[in-house]
Amino acid sequence: MSTADVSPVAAEGADAPGRGRDPLVRMVLLAWPRGSRFALGVLLGSVATGSAVALLGIAAWMLAKAAEHPPITALSVAIVATRALGVTRGVARYLERLVTHDAAFRTLADVRVKVYERLARTEPIRRFRSGDLVSRLVSDTESTQDLLLRGLTPPLIAVVAGGVTTAVCTALLVPGGLVLAAGLLLTGLAVPLVAARLGRAPGERQAEARGRLSTSLVDALHGAPDLVAYGAMDRAVHRVEEADAELTRLARRDAGLLGFGAGATALVTGLTVWASLLLGVAAVDDGSLHPVPLAVLVLTTLAAFEIVQPLPAVAARLGALRAGGARLFDVLDTPAMVEPPAEPAALPEPPPADLRVRGLKVRYGPQEPWALRGIDLEVPAGAKVAVLGPSGAGKSTLAEVLLRFRDPDAGGVELGGGDLVGYDRDDARRAIGGVPQDPHVFASTLRENLRLALPETGPAGNGDADSSGDTDNGQHTDGGDERLWEALERARLADEVRAMPHGLDTEVGVHGTRLSGGMRSRLAMARAVLAAPRILVLDEPTAHLDPDTRDAVMADVLDAADAEGFSTLLITHDLAGLERMDRIYVLSEGRVLQEGTPHELAEQDGWYRDALRLGS
């Protein structure tokens, strides 16, 4: 296996190498597996740049030599060399771009996978605001590509090509070579360092401002109805304008820095060429240099500055790239809420349908209070269990642990007798699945939102839920969509989907905004049923439904549980329709307050009976 084949997914623990180091260094470390490609790119780039310099040097030699009227054969090698260098320059530059872009895009793909993987195991929505998150995923991730292509490759090429050119000029005339070395160091190092220093603070502000612009823009767009309703649209637009104005100011500063870099480079170039000309003429006068090499020296010196020309601009961008990198590592360094087991245990087949929660303790941070303070709970195979309790009791936290969005801090969950955290997360989901409190509806069609629960069918679809064949406005039942329709029936959504002109191919809009709240809940429920887990965990699944639909949906799901033998854990604050539950647990402040059958609890003094009375 070549180093380039190292999968970022396989390289667990190598998500964010070089913790604690400068973000620029860490971004380069991310590209380490592609190091050999970048090295080849630098070599090709050096050949291209070197060819351009040599072309001018040889042209100077030919012109100066031709002035001596030699026989044409004396120039033939130079003529051929000029042609060859012309071709080499173009071909090498093309190959350099090809190789470095290929390596940079592969690295970018690796980084994107790492970022998505990390987000899937963290709390992106709670920790980062959505617009800011988009900015981190798009522009900050691209900082890596920018750094590799424009921040790292040109300086390395400059070192190789500049070193060789200086050596050639030193061979022609030592003082000339020294002057060139000084000029190249000034324009290639001193000017870029000044540009980097001046560009550091604005660069950092630029990444922040870009994040602010995305955040305020996304907030203004998503919250438009509320902003209009409360007359706060002007303020929201003002925030967008402020962020935009800040970015424009910083872009102007950037342009100023580029101008400074270009001006300083032109000045040093002119002075160096003059100095080498004067030194060369003096050497010709005292006979230590022939006039022909003088021409070569002066024109090569002039051409050599092309090598370092891009460096001040590179340096001026380093501040922004560093800030982009810092924001990227901010995501990559976020501790995962769910750590994959080093050696996952094999999930028994068929997956178990019973679970036991033992002394489960969870909190949202080391300084946070306990959300669950040691709860015990049991769901035997095929049982229907409800977890009730007031707001903040810890019900959703329990669902998050069971659905593997969060690891327990103490105690644990046994799935079929084995430790839940010991199983691979995808395996565990075959056993325990369901609807989280705030299920996401993707901006796609109803069909795609449902097929998500059937990953084995793949994007083109070749499994049971295959969408191939006559779509007939997405309403066909050629056998391929049967399972989708069955799940929609269970969730009491099928009639409404049939009435839509595009049926299953109906676009649901961003976050499912083209569906009603109740339809979104039922779509999430259909998706959960479709995934056919052995234990279905439903966190407030009927929150947006009217009482009749709620009762019908729950009755259908519980019928399906009876027919197919899966266990159900229903998390709710709603006491209606709990008669079919085998056991009820009442949570309060992270503890189990009451447990028993619905009948037992209705007979006991306590939260359940009080809540029943209040509801009736």
Ligand X SMILES: Nc1ncnc2c1ncn2[C@@H]1O[C@H](COP(=O)(O)OP(=O)(O)OP(=O)(O)O)[C@@H](O)[C@H]1O
- Least CB distance from residue 123 to ligand X, whole Å? 6
Least distance CB 334 / ligand X (angstroms): 13
Does residue 613 bind ligand X (CB under 6 A)?
A: no
Q: Which is nearer to ligand X, 32 or 370 (by Cβ)? A: 370
Q: Which of 311, 314, 332 is nearest to 30 (CA)?
A: 332
Among 368, 495, 548, 579, binds ligand X (CB under 6 A): 368
Residue 599, interface with ligand X (CB under 6 A)?
no
Q: Does residue 46 belong to the site contacting ligand X (CB under 6 A)?
A: no
User: Distance between CA 89 and CA 571 in Å, rounded?
Assistant: 69
Binding flag, residue 394, ligand X (CB under 6 A): yes
SS (H, E, C) 191-234: HHHHHHHHHHHHHHHHHHHHHHHHHHHHHHHHCHHHHHHCCCHH
Stretch that binds ligand X, among 178-186, 364-372, 471-479, 608-616 (CB under 6 A): 364-372
As a dihedral over the C-alpha atoms of residue 519, residue 524, residue 526, residue 530, rounded to 10 degrees, the angle is 160
Q: In this complex, which beta carbon is closest to ligand X, that of residue 330 or of residue 489?
A: 330
Please report, as residue ranges, which positions from 221 to 240 form the binding site for ligand X (by CB under 6 A). Answer: none
CA–CA distance, 329 with 450 (Å, rounded to integer): 34
Decide if 417 contacts 380 (C-beta within 8 A). Answer: no
Q: By C-beta, is 397 or 506 nearer to ligand X?
A: 397
x-or-dash string of contact with ligand X, 307-346, rule CB under 6 A: ----------------------------------------
How many angstroms separate the first and last alpha carbons of the chain?
68
DSSP letters of 563-603? Answer: HHT-EEEEE-S--TT-TT-SEEEEEETTEEEEEE-HHHHHH
Q: Tell me the β-bridge partners of 584.
A: 386, 596
- Residue 395 engages ligand X in binding (rule: CB under 6 A): yes
Q: Identify whether the C-beta of residue 180 lies closer than 8 Å to the C-beta of residue 306.
A: no
For the chain, helix (H) and strand (E) counts, in that order, are: 22, 10
Binding test (CB under 6 A) with ligand X, winner from 145, 214, 265, 396 = 396
Taking the CB of residue 245, how many other CB atoms lie within 10 A of it?
12
| Using rule CB under 6 A, residue 371 touches ligand X | yes
Please count the residues of this chain forming the interface with ligand X, following the rule CB under 6 A: 13
Nearer to ligand X, 375 or 560 (CB): 375
- Which span (199-207, 249-257, 276-284, 395-403) binds ligand X, by CB under 6 A? 395-403
Query: Using an 8 Å Cβ cutoff, are 446 and 473 in contact?
Result: no
| Footprint on residues 168-227 left by ligand X (CB under 6 A) | none
Out of 393, 450, 508, 584, name the contact with ligand X by CB under 6 A. Answer: 393
Q: Per CB under 6 A, does 593 bind ligand X?
A: no
Strands 384-388 and 583-588: parallel
Residues 529-588 that bind ligand X (CB under 6 A): 573
The identity of residue 99, as a single letter, is V
Q: Determine the length of the chain.
A: 616
Binding mask 493-532 for ligand X (x = CB under 6 A): ----------------------------------------
Which one of residues 310, 389, 433, 577 is an interface residue with ligand X (CB under 6 A)? 389
Task: Kindly state the smallest distance separating residue 118's Cβ from ligand X, in Å.
Answer: 17
Binding ligand X (rule: CB under 6 A), the pick from 392, 455, 458, 463 is 392
Distance, CA of 465 to CA of 446 (rounded, Å)? 13
| CB nearer to ligand X: pick between 261 and 389 | 389
Which CB sits closer to ligand X, 282 or 576? 576
Cβ atoms < 10 Å from Cβ of 205? 19
Residue from 100, 144, 300, 397 binding ligand X (CB under 6 A): 397
Q: d(Cα 14, Cα 114) in Å, to the nearest integer?
A: 9
Q: Which residues pair with 375 in a beta bridge?
A: 360
Residues in contact with ligand X by CB under 6 A are 126, 364, 368, 371, 389, 391-397, 573
